[in-house]
């Protein structure tokens, strides 16, 4: 993907004016998905960045931390996932980000509707609005990078998470088999995605750390895109 010089912040749609301290670089996907140990130049993994307002970017920080920590327990098993896991373990030992870890752990319930789950299984009663918000941001960032267009998302983008060992939803299997388009990840083992428009529906599939599949799907409406000045 070619570097872009955005003239607008894709998060709020307002112009960027190059004011020092007011603007910042946003990473697409969130930086926390890529462990620092893999960010070395020799690994050649660099996330895409977009210039945005710092305040707009910061308004997502807590949700992105939640998103990452919710998925980290399932990260182990690949190089990129293991690196993120190790970093989380180290942070916890250093008493960093403990609140968010405890919050996620408290959301893992041993029973569903009063029925006790088999030993070792938990029901994750997660904060889906926060996950939807982060997934929506990633999608909007990718759309901006690809088309230099600001996407407005509908209220519901039907986000689903498939963890390692779970079967992905049927629509995902259909999408990967039949929908046009190729996988567009450039961040080997960290993040890959595929997008297509099928029967008036936008369908997005993302793969994080080669471990977790996230799908999002929403209807096309007439006013989804606001083109940037070119």
Contacting residues toward Zn ion, per CB under 5 A? 9, 11-12, 53, 56
CB of 132 to Zn ion, least distance (A): 19
Q: Within a 13 Å sphere around the CA of 19, how many CA atoms are in the beta-carbon half?
A: 9
Of 20 and 119, which CB lies nearer to Zn ion in the complex structure? 20
Of 56 and 217, which CB lies nearer to Zn ion in the complex structure? 56
C-alpha pair distances (Å), 167 with each of 164, 170, 176: 8, 9, 14
CB of 101 to Zn ion, least distance (A): 30
Of 42 and 227, which CB lies nearer to Zn ion in the complex structure? 227
Which among 27, 35, 20, 118 has a CA at the least distance from the CA of 72? 35
CB of 44 to Zn ion, least distance (A): 30
Cβ-based burial of 212 (10 A; exposed 0-12, middle 13-18, buried ≥19): buried
Asked if residue 68 lies in contact with residue 32, where contact means CB atoms within 8 angstroms, the answer is: yes
CB of 34 to Zn ion, least distance (A): 23
- Tokens representing 68 are 């990452």
Asked if residue 11 lies in contact with residue 137, where contact means CB atoms within 8 angstroms, the answer is: yes
CB of 189 to Zn ion, least distance (A): 31
Of 57 and 162, which CB lies nearer to Zn ion in the complex structure? 57
Length of the chain: 230
Of 171 and 228, which CB lies nearer to Zn ion in the complex structure? 228
């Amino acid at each position: 993907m070619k570097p872009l010089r955005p003239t607008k912040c894709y998060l709020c749609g307002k112009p960027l004016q190059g004011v020092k301290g007011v603007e910042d670089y946003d990473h697409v996907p969130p930086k926390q998905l890529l462990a620092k140990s893999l960010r070395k130049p020799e690994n050649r993994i660099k996330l895409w960045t977009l210039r945005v307002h710092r305040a707009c970017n910061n308004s997502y920080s807590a949700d992105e931390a939640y998103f990452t920590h919710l998925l980290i327990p399932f990260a182990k098993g690949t190089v990129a996932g293991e690196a993120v896991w190790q970093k989380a373990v180290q942070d916890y030992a250093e008493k960093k980000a403990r609140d968010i870890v405890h919050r996620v752990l408290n959301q893992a319930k041993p029973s569903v509707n009063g029925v006790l789950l088999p030993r070792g299984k938990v029901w994750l009663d997660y904060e889906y609005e926060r996950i939807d918000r982060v997934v929506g941001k990633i999608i909007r960032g990718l759309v901006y990078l690809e088309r230099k267009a600001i996407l407005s998302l509908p209220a519901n983008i039907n986000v689903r998470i498939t963890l390692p060992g779970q079967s992905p939803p049927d629509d995902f299997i259909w999408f990967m088999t039949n929908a046009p388009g190729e996988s567009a990840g450039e961040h080997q083992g960290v993040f890959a995605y595929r997008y297509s428009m099928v029967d008036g529906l936008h369908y997005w599939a993302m793969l994080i750390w080669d471990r977790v599949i996230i799908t999002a799907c929403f209807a096309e409406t007439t006013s989804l895109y606001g083109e940037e000045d070119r």
